[in-house]
Amino acid sequence: MLLQQTRVAQALPYYTRILERYPNLRALADSRPSELLKLWQGAGYYARASRLRAAARAIRKEHGGRFPRAVEQLERLPGIGPYTARAIASLAFRAPVLALEANGVRVAARLTGDRGDPAQAKVRARLGAWLAKELPVDAPGEFNEAVMELGETVCLPRSPRCPECPVSLVCSAFRTLADPGSLPRRTPRRPKPHEVAAIAAVHRGPRWLMQQRTEPGLLRGLWEFPGGKQAPGESLPDAARRELEEETGLRVGSLEHVGVIRHSYSHFSVELHLFRAEPRGKYRVTSPARWVTAEEIRRLPLPRATEKALLLLGVGSPEEAQPGQTR
């Protein structure tokens, strides 16, 4: 599940850390969500962490603690879709099924010279059917892994390394096209939406006001400074004040602009204007916000943007930074 959105080299430290802390399914099923999120911090796509835990609990409840082997059973587990189910079934249990992901689609389109657009389900189905015919029943995992590796290391998206390719002699794109990398046909990507937001780092002496994201979505369960999107015609300090008051009921005195954090998620990019402030009037805030020391902040699961904000504020230490993607 770590590998669903993360490359192997980046995922490995997380894999090791999570396995050390939760060496078996029971330990993972009994894990505290916030502790697992903390171990996941920096890997991005945080919903995977809660689905991993939910899958462990489902395996214990519905399968007596034994990992299911059939694709249909695997697909019913949280966080496991058609591709992951087939990858697990073929790699771990030698089930004769094809696990088709982006690398396989690209390799198959080039090997067959298919000019269809893989964004279309019927084109992906055609390429999958062709690859499935080649799948050896006695080594399905090796086959799936070989196709992925070929796409990952040789048949690269823009510049395939055809002279080094072990299957170039049977590759239609290599034999017939001046640029084999022109397949598969690519749909031009729409530019990612860009958002501008303001966040307020409010402190009372050594304690900072942080809140936990509770709504379903990208960063659920992680802790961050209050803030949100700038409304049309609104100044950034006004946006910071409004969001702070709406979210926590707190008002602040003057705002100091500390810096800008630029961050990219899978579907949008964001420019976060960070303000430092002290509270004016009452200190009571609505849950789930809390006043926490720098020491306590380090123990909370944080999104990467909040880690960057803490560095700008001089709170938290660089050695806390985790390996992994900037997401």
Count the residues of the shown chain that bind ligand SF4, applying the rule CB under 6 A. 15
Check binding of 143 to ligand SF4 (CB under 6 A): no
Q: Is 222 buried (19+), middle (13-18) or exposed (0-12) by CB count in 10 A? A: buried
To ligand SF4, the closest distance from the beta carbon of 238 in angstroms equals 54
Distance CA 265, CA 303 (A): 11
Check binding of 154 to ligand SF4 (CB under 6 A): yes
Check binding of 180 to ligand SF4 (CB under 6 A): yes
Out of 58, 85, 173, 310, which residue is the one contacting ligand SF4 (CB under 6 A)?
A: 173
106/327 with CB nearer ligand SF4? 106
Distance CA 296, CA 305 (A): 18
29/171 with CB nearer ligand SF4? 171
To ligand SF4, the closest distance from the beta carbon of 154 in angstroms equals 5
Stretch that binds ligand SF4, among 64-72, 103-111, 191-199, 299-307 (CB under 6 A): 103-111
**Residue type at 278?**
E
Mode of pairing for the β-strands spanning 269-277 and 194-204: parallel
Out of 22, 46, 143, 174, which residue is the one contacting ligand SF4 (CB under 6 A)?
A: 174
Q: Give the up-direction half-sphere exposure of residue 236: CA atoms within 13 A in the CB hemisphere.
A: 18
Stretch that binds ligand SF4, among 26-34, 167-175, 271-279, 299-307 (CB under 6 A): 167-175
To ligand SF4, the closest distance from the beta carbon of 166 in angstroms equals 8
Could you give the residue ranges of the DSSP H alpha helices within the chain? 8-21, 25-29, 33-40, 47-63, 71-75, 82-93, 102-112, 121-134, 140-153, 172-176, 236-248, 294-299, 304-313
- Among positions 108-137, residues that touch ligand SF4 (CB under 6 A) are 110-111
78/181 with CB nearer ligand SF4? 181
Stretch that binds ligand SF4, among 131-139, 159-167, 218-226, 285-293 (CB under 6 A): 159-167
Token pair of 93 as six digits: 């249990």
Out of 43, 49, 77, 107, which residue is the one contacting ligand SF4 (CB under 6 A)?
A: 107
Check binding of 146 to ligand SF4 (CB under 6 A): no
Check binding of 77 to ligand SF4 (CB under 6 A): no
Q: Give the up-direction half-sphere exposure of residue 160: CA atoms within 13 A in the CB hemisphere.
A: 28
Task: For the chain, give the number of residues.
Answer: 327
To ligand SF4, the closest distance from the beta carbon of 157 in angstroms equals 10
To ligand SF4, the closest distance from the beta carbon of 180 in angstroms equals 4
Query: 3-state SS of the chain: helix, strand, coil percent to 5?
Result: 45, 15, 40
The gap from C-alpha 73 to its chain's centroid, in whole angstroms, comes to 24
Could you give the residue ranges of the DSSP H alpha helices within 135-235? 140-153, 172-176
The footprint of ligand SF4 (CB under 6 A) covers: 107, 110-111, 154-155, 160-162, 165, 167-168, 171, 173-174, 180
